[in-house]
Structure 1
Amino acid sequence: MTTLTKLALGMMGRLRPKPARGAVAAQIALPPPHKEGGTPLMEALAERRSSREFAPDELPLQLLSDLLWAADGVNRAEGGRTAPSALDAQEIDVYVALPSGAYLYVAAAHALELVAASDMRRVTGYQDFVDKAPLDLVFIADHARMALVPVSQRESFASVAAGAISQNVYLFAASAGLATVIRAWIDREAIAQALGLGHDHQVLLSQTIGYPKKTE
């Protein structure tokens, strides 16, 4: 679907997901993440960049597991995460849009739970490349977890937390030879509707990840 078509459908409130492709699992148990090895930090920073060209190949389950743990997984026995959160509110939920459905990443269980049995990748952004890239992440703030944060500051606090998760994804992508790009040009209402979000939830950003597009 082209960008112009998406814009037109978005203006009419008719940007919708496609039917899921393949078997739809109610839960996906992720293998334990690999927490050793990888590219040294300074080299990963040197390679960190945005890319908007992706191969359609799906990521193996182990690579998806490592990616999600790096993004916002549990890295301490008391439940701390790989990304910071003010007052430890842990208000950001990471949703994963796959061809087989839209899933919520449950960090404590290191698993994916089905939210919508549809392929909502094209709903996660107006750019045409999001339709065919293997997965899109959507970062959503749950304001109900931010009771200790003044209402006027919740969006800024949550945006900082989402930015930290996004940078984790960027560094993992650089280390693993993947392509990624963060995106704010998104139809937040269409995403909220596709995921069945409540009024306490705020759609902040999307991020596309996949193998780099093969060159001839």
Structure 2
Amino acid sequence: MRICFIKSLGAVALTLAAAATVTFALEPPQDIIVMPPKDGGYTLVKAIESRHSDRTFVDSDFSSTQVAEILWCASGENRENGGLTVPTALGKKEVFVYAVTKQGVYKFLPNEKKALFVNKGDFRKDAGMQDFVGKAAVNLVYVIDKNLSGGKTDADKVRMGAFSAGAMSQNVALFAASKGYGNVVRGSFDKVKLGKALKLSPSEEILMTQSVGPIAPAK
């Protein structure tokens, strides 16, 4: 009887352990609270002087704080009236930044000051065609929601959104330079595959992408 009891306890323990493991595995990453960086690194002039494209990324990961800093620079709220760090056509704020990290995909909502968790998993390689894309700590994807745009035609909406996306990517590039990160803006990606990873709605369209992260030491 004692042997059977011990075996029963062992079975129960294994069952509970398995259940706990499954529960943990199903828990998604947390939303990221986005606040302005505490340390800007270089001066603006020095950052402009240092800005350049780099593709020599080393496979790495950013902390949630580092991701938050980059997202705030891209399109964070920087004044009490809800204005952003970049201009938006007619003030529509129709361009959103998605962050593709090793942990998963996040959508930045500037006026809520958080990056909303969208999809769990490492989809970095789906953010572009080149091999280095899968190594960058974060791949930013600039997406326009045409339903929010003030443009009359699809062409107008994309053109107006491109202005904001370009300003966002330059903000990120300057911040990356100030922190010693590599960055490169890209237009080569599979819209269908990346759109699925981001779980885009029919009204959303990808405008451009940008890889950011630590790079290999210069030889």
State TM-score, norm by structure 2.
Answer: 0.82
Pairwise CA distance, 1:57: 2.6
Q: For residue 40 of structure 1, what is the amino acid of its counterpart?
A: T
* Larger Cα-atom Rg: 2
SS in 2 for 1:108: helix
Among candidates 44, 56, 72, match of residue 47 of structure 2: 44
Aligned to 2:120: 117
Among candidates 101, 105, 115, match of residue 104 of structure 2: 101
Aligned to 2:175: 172
Q: Report the RMSD for the aligned CA atoms in angstroms.
A: 1.9
Among candidates 18, 29, 32, match of residue 29 of structure 1: 32
Q: C-alpha deviations, 1:7-41, integer Å up to 9, x for none?
A: xxxxxxxxxxxxxxx88634333363225643111
Once residues 24 and 54 of structure 1 are traced to their aligned partners in structure 2, the CA distance between those partners, rounded to angstroms, is: 30
Once residues 214 and 26 of structure 2 are traced to their aligned partners in structure 1, the CA distance between those partners, rounded to angstroms, is: 22
1:1-216 pair list within 5 angstroms: 25-30=28-33, 32-34=35-37, 37-146=40-149, 148-151=150-153, 152-215=155-218
Q: Which moved more, 1:27-36 or 1:66-75?
A: 27-36
In 2, are the aligned partners of 1:24 and 1:100 still within 8 Å (CA)? no
State TM-score, norm by structure 1.
Answer: 0.83
Alignment length, in residue pairs?
194
Structure 2: 5+ residue runs without aligned partners? 1-24
Q: For residue 106 of structure 2, what is the amino acid of its counterpart?
A: Y
By relative contact order (CA 8 Å, sep 6+), the higher-ranking structure is 1
Once residues 29 and 197 of structure 1 are traced to their aligned partners in structure 2, the CA distance between those partners, rounded to angstroms, is: 19
Percent identity, please: 32
SS in 2 for 1:166: helix
In 2, are the aligned partners of 1:99 and 1:134 still within 8 Å (CA)? yes
Once residues 42 and 197 of structure 1 are traced to their aligned partners in structure 2, the CA distance between those partners, rounded to angstroms, is: 37
SS in 2 for 1:119: coil
| Structure with greater helix percent | 2
